[in-house]
Amino acid sequence: MTGIRHVAVIDIGKTNAKVALVDLASMREATLRRVANAPAADGRYPHHDVERLWTFILGSLAEINREQRIDAISITTHGATAVLVDAAGQLALPVLDYEFDGPDSFAADYDEIRPAFTETGTPRLPVGLNLGAQLFWQQRSFPAEFAKAAAILMYPQYWALRLTGRAANEVTSLGCHTDLWNPWKADFSSLVDKMQWRRLMMPVRPAKDRLGTILPALARQTGLDPQTPVFCGLHDSNASLLPHLLSDKPPFSVVSTGTWVVSMAVGGRQITLDPARDTLVNVNALGDPVPSARFMGGREFSVLTEGRSEDWTEADVATVLARKASLLPSTQQGSGPFPHHTAAWLNADGINTGQRFAAISFYLALTTATCLDLIGADGPAIVEGPFARNRLFVSMLATATARVVIASEAATGTSIGAALLASDHRLAQGKGEKTDPPADPAWANYARSWRAAVDARS
């Protein structure tokens, strides 16, 4: 493994930021530091508090390195985020939070110039979920500040710049519903040239490239070896996908769960994607297009379960299945396969906390199954992240897809995938518990009932 065993992965999610030490020999996280990540509300618009995150990152690197020598650093972050930096590497504008609705104020003008879905594989999304819409809004709203920008960086590469002083971009973040990338030509889209942004786009480098070593001042501050290499980094859902691209035989799909539940199909059925249902084309770490679909499942789970127990019993499950107590989409509107549906409970009067939790888990699994169907997924579905530990979610997903579901053993699939950028890419097949569709017909009956209820409301 090129002499690198312990990789510190900086993993900036929308809800939490983490620094994990991944042992490449065992493919496990040896150490994990975590902090809540919420946008700052002060200033011109809601934005990511990068200085708070930077303090957390450096402190975590120093603490971890005292426990176990860090051999390399890799980076993964959520998508839909770009950073405008000036010639000195400082922020030209705050790093916009993609949930801010400011870009919608210029939606009509943006729609006139954005590329077609056939060019980019990017559906039109609300608020700042299309990165091109963010940049368009920033340039229109703050022309003087935007004019000071010397570079547009994707979010993982912004942190790489701070660590190494070297600027780059990378395709998994550029190809993640941004309107900025043409996955078929492996080049920037027509929008980038139309807006004259190409001059600001830093060279596109593979996710596995060593950008350089950690800056001397940071080595002194953290105690890391000054020759510690920093790798270019990648988008978080594609980090979850990477281990399986390297080890598993198609067809299969990967369901990356976090704030977003992102489903990606590899070697699946040929299908026409529907941009109105939040399907899209991602670009994986090897540069290849990947049919994908997503919904804000982790956010929905947090909202629906906040302050409530997550304990349940087999009797609770039996009651939910028998009554067909169910939650219909969507708790978070504006994205996902049912973007314009309003959430509703059916047959749920008087259910207890355990039964409610079971119904929520089933709702999330059935919505995920819908996403998989929309992208032509085939073969086993591999669930990464927090939902892999939810046995009810996994079992209902197996039911709804009528295929095996593998719950990944990795605590954070994104961290393992990002760490692999520092390896020689030789990888044994990933480990995880396999779940077949339950034999009890009540599960399949529940799934059919849920789909019929959703169809009836469409």
The pLDDT of residue 426: 57
User: Are the beta carbons of 365 and 396 closer than 8 angstroms?
Assistant: yes
Q: Estimate to the nearest angstrom the gap between the alpha carbon of 13 and the chain centroid.
A: 8
Per-residue pLDDT tens for 35-78? Answer: 999 999 999 999 999 999 999 999 999 999 999 999 999 999 99
Q: Is 182 helix (H, G, I), strand (E, B) or coil?
A: strand
Least confident of 18-22, 170-174, 345-349, 428-432: 428-432
User: Are the beta carbons of 182 and 188 closer than 8 angstroms?
Assistant: yes
CA distance 200 to 31: 37
DSSP character for 92?
Answer: S
User: Are the beta carbons of 243 and 413 closer than 8 angstroms?
Assistant: yes
More confident residue, 157 or 245: 157
438 has pLDDT over 90: yes
**Mean pLDDT calculated for residue range 304-310:** 94
CA distance 330 to 328: 6
For residue 339, give both structure tokens. 């973007």
Res. 336 pLDDT band, cuts 50 70 90: very high
CA distance 97 to 402: 38
Degrees, nearest 5: CA angle 283-433-427: 50
Of residues 24, 19, 21, 2, the one with CA closest to residue 69:
21
Q: Is 46 helix (H, G, I), strand (E, B) or coil?
A: coil
The pLDDT of residue 430: 56
As a three-state string, the secondary structure of 360-378 is HHHHHHHHHHHHHHHCCCC
User: Are the beta carbons of 116 and 179 closer than 8 angstroms?
Assistant: no
Res. 126 pLDDT band, cuts 50 70 90: very high
383 has pLDDT over 90: yes
Q: Which residues pair with 229 in a beta bridge?
A: 213
1 has pLDDT over 50: no
For residue 251, cis peptide bond before it (omega within 30 degrees of 0): yes
- What percent of the chain has a predicted confidence (pLDDT) above 70? 97
The pLDDT of residue 115: 97
Q: Which residues pair with 249 in a beta bridge?
A: none
98 has pLDDT over 50: yes
Would you tell me the crossing angle of helices 314-323 and 441-457 to the nearest 10 degrees? Answer: 50
Per-residue pLDDT tens for 177-197? Answer: 999 999 999 999 999 999 999
The pLDDT of residue 157: 98
User: Are the beta carbons of 157 and 87 closer than 8 angstroms?
Assistant: no
Domains of the chain, earliest start first: 6-232 (3.30.420.40), 237-457 (3.30.420.40)
Q: Which residues pair with 33 in a beta bridge?
A: 19
Count of all residues that appear for the chain in the document: 458
The pLDDT of residue 2: 60
Give pTM, 2 decimals: 0.87
The pLDDT of residue 427: 56
420 has pLDDT over 50: yes
The pLDDT of residue 432: 83
Q: What is the DSSP string of 290-336?
A: EEEEEE-HHHHHHHHHTTS-----HHHHHHHHHHT-EEES-SS-SSS
CA distances from 355 to 169, 310, 392, 401, 443 (A): 46, 10, 11, 23, 15
